[in-house]
Structures are given as structure tokens and as C-alpha cells.
Amino acid sequence: MQFQDDYLAAYRSLKLTRDANGVLVAEFHSNGGPFIMTAQAHTEFINAFYRIAQDRANKIVILTGAGGGVHY
């Protein structure tokens, strides 16, 4: 069964990019800058990590933060 990868561009606070080898980089951000936690972002993450886990095209997952930060 082939899963759709439409979720890759679906999140405001999580930028997902995958290279040809299946290395998925999940970057937490707020408007492209350091990520600031919000309730909406939290809801997004629940969905995003579920979809990432389901998608067999993801071979390795790298978690990181834009602009060097994850904070309030």
C-alpha cells in the first residue's frame, strides 16, 4: 500500500523535507525563525509524527529547530 506524502507540506510549524535517500528532516519553526510553542503547533505535531511514522518512504528521521531554537 502506497501512502500519500501530501502531509509533507501540511504543517505551519514543522517544515518537512526529504531527500532521495529517504532522510526526512523535520524542522520546528515559527514563521521560518526559532520555534515558539503554541497549542496549534502541539496539535499539528500529533498528526505530523503519526503520518511520519506511517510513511515507509521515510528511512531516517532528523529532528531539529530553525534558527537554533525551540522555546517560548
Partner 1 sequence: MQALENIANIRVPVIAAIEGRAHVHSDYALLASVIVAAEGATFQDVAHFSAGVAPGDGIFTTWSYRAGAGRAEAFLLNPQPLRARTAYEWGVVAEIVPNGQAVSRARELAELYLKAPEVTRRNTRVHFIQPLKERIVREVGYGLALEGASAADLVKSMRAKSEPVARKGKSA
User: Hey, what's the cell of 20?
Assistant: 532521495
Q: Which is nearer to partner 1, 6 or 29 (CB)?
A: 29
Q: Assess 60 for contact with partner 1 (CB under 8 A).
A: yes
* Least separation in angstroms between CB 23 and partner 1: 5
Q: Which is nearer to partner 1, 8 or 52 (CB)?
A: 52
Q: Which of 25, 33, 39, 40 binds partner 1 (CB under 8 A)?
A: 25
